[in-house]
Structure 1
């Protein structure tokens, strides 16, 4: 960052606002011995007729909390 510009500052402000907004969000984990990592995924291969782009989503859980 030898020559920061206005858009760098704007990007930093967006990140700080995001962090400020999620400070109260928490993930709770239960205390049991049966902790597993489970992952789910969903893919739509070329479902967009115009662009034929691949769209995929995923979620992972550690015990009862999403990571």
Structure 2
């Protein structure tokens, strides 16, 4: 059968140095599907000073399309941890998406356009250990008083 090169939308490159995983083909398909393939690129997935919240005065957007975009981006986070925070923040507003939330999602797509080839790389090593960290902000959401928690794991040599 040969080496594994493509599996469930993941593109896999195996070499003597290690394994690289990316979803370039899937990301390109997403950009075309949502007509974002000819837009301007962004350097960050979210503006540093943006604070998404429930917006009563912003116009409503199509909930089905918004959920589809979020679902597609969540699948992309399998190889793109750099967009995880932004996508999960936007996912909180799926029940009542507004124009400001859709703008934030479109910015993530514009960021993807400029960083289409980013993925994960696992270097081959005989000697490594797993190191993990976690944190929570304890009711950091000012409006709903929800907590945000997260974790990060590193394979260190």
Which band: TM-score by shorter chain? 0.3 to 0.5
Q: Which is greater in Rg?
A: 1
Question: Which one has a larger percent helix, Structure 1 or Structure 2?
Answer: 2
What TM-score does the superposition give when structure 1 sets the normalisation length?
0.46
Q: Which has the higher strand share?
A: 1
State the TM-score, normalized to the length of structure 2. 0.25
